[in-house]
Amino acid sequence: MDDLRDKYIALIAEAGNEATLEELRVQAVGKKGEISLKMRELGKMTPEERQVMGPKLNTLKDEINSALAMKKEALADAALDERLKGEWLDVTLPGRARREGTIHPVSQVMEEVTAIFADLGFSVAEGPQIETDWYNFDALNIPGHHPARAEMDTFYTHRAEGDNRPPHVLRTHTSPVQIRSMEKHGAPIRIICPGRVYRADYDQTHTPMFHQVEGLAIGKDISMANLKWVLEEFFSAFFGTHVDTRFRASHFPFTEPSAEVDIQCEWVDGQVKVGEGNDWLEVLGSGMVHPKVLEAGGIDPNEYQGFAFGIGIDRLAMLKYGIPDLRAFFDSDLRWLRHYGFASLDQPTLHGGLSR
Ligand code: PHE
């Protein structure tokens, strides 16, 4: 019996994997195993022999079973150790950085413009990009036969044959929001409306979709002088330096008198610098709101007057951030966006500083 024990204890110790161990279990204590067969022989023994051999065999069987169990556990531990060697993970390593998106220069500039005008007491209004031709034209004193309608390269929505409703257009400017805001809030009113506008035009400085911000201030004694101060204040805050402006007499059907406004700039090696030099760049249209436009907005022109302006936002972004080609703004080229875009936490505020 001692031989039997020594043999199996040795074999179990040597077993290199669970399959070998299982074979040994069957061989020793399985139904037809060596020790099980020995136990069967007990029946043929005399009671005296059985009293001696019985407990001995049981002890042997227990010993073998616990040796098997211990070895099984040891094999499992060894397997786990082996796996851990290969699958070891250094949780102190720095994480893999994910590419962050950027804020488009147009969005950034809209935020900057909004922050400056909010500081000047203007609130933000919005209107639909698909407009009726009444809001886009008629209410702004541009009647059906007016050449300005043709000049604007308007996109008209499709009308099915026999549909005689007046046409809808993609708004050609943000000026229709003037009318909507006057209708809604009456006078006095001080608003800006940033948004998308559309004209059928495409070259280095024109895209069929672009952005404007409209301004409107109506009160009892608002004059052209107030317009000039507000715009100079705006440009100086926006460009972070004093910017001279030049008002040129112009014509818009919805303002009288009307002025186009240029800002002072200088060209150095094909780059434009705002606020220096003797050149001028046109950036907006403006004027005193036409009495007919006030009327269309439900405001009595005998009691109220005020100014309006429309600035090209994309143009402002190009000037401030030195971006040469307008078309690239809307190509969604990731390289362009990473280069000209802004970090998402770079929120422009007047107290925190606008982007530079
Ligand atoms: N709506 C004009 C344009 O798109 C700009 C403008 C706005 C002019 C308000 C005067 C007053 O060109």
345 within some domain: no
| 92 in a structural domain | no
Ligand 1 site, CB within 6 A? 173, 175, 252, 255, 285-287, 308-310
CATH number at residue 130: 3.30.930.10
> Do residues 211 and 113 share a domain?
yes
* 15 pLDDT higher than 60: yes
Residues 302 and 200 in one domain: yes
Q: How confident is the model at residue 151 (pLDDT cuts 50, 70, 90)?
A: low
Helical pair 313-321 and 224-239, crossing angle rounded to 10 deg: 40
* Residue 213 belongs to a domain: yes
Residue 131: count other Cβ atoms within 10 Å of its Cβ. 24
Model-wide pTM > 0.75: no
Q: How many domains does the chain have?
A: 2
Q: Ligand 1: which of 178, 199, 254 to mutate, most ligand atoms within 8 Å of CB? A: 254
**Measured between alpha carbons, how far is 145 from 11 in angstroms, rounded to an integer?**
107
CA 185 to chain centre: 32
Among 32, 52, 86, the domain-final residue is 86
User: d(Cα 134, Cα 136) in Å, to the nearest integer?
Assistant: 6
- Same domain as 41, residue 122: no
Residues 155 and 7 in one domain: no
Pocket test residue of 181, 248, 252 for ligand 1, highest count of atoms within 8 A of CB: 252
Q: Is 158 in the same domain as 296? A: yes
Residue 118 covered by a domain:
yes
80 near 87, Cβ under 8 Å? Answer: no
Q: 301-310 pLDDT, tens per residue?
A: 999 999 999 9
Nearest protein Cα to ligand 1, atom 9: 309
pLDDT at 356 over 70: no
User: Going along the chain, which residue ranges are E strands?
Assistant: 123-124, 130-132, 168-170, 189-198, 209-219, 245-252, 255-268, 271-274, 279-289, 305-312
Task: Note the pLDDT tens digit of each residue in 62-72.
Answer: 999 999 999 99
Give the tens place of pLDDT for each residue, 165-201.
888 999 999 999 999 999 999 999 999 999 999 999 8
| Residue located nearest, by CA, to atom 7 of ligand 1 | 310
Among left, alpha and beta (phi > 0; psi -120 to 50; other), residue 290 is beta
Q: Ligand 1 center to residue 310 CA distance, Å? A: 4
pLDDT in tens, 81-90: 988 888 888 8
Instruction: Let me know if residue 347 belongs to a domain.
Output: no
pLDDT tens digits for 111-144?
999 999 999 999 999 999 999 999 999 999 998 8
Give the angle 213-250-130 at the CA atoms, nearest 5°. Answer: 35
How confident is the model over 30-78, as pLDDT tens digits? 999 989 888 888 889 898 988 988 899 999 999 999 999 999 999 999 9
Task: Determine the Cα–Cα distance for residues 256 and 287; give it in Å rounded to an integer.
Answer: 6
Do 117 and 157 lie in one domain? The reply is: yes
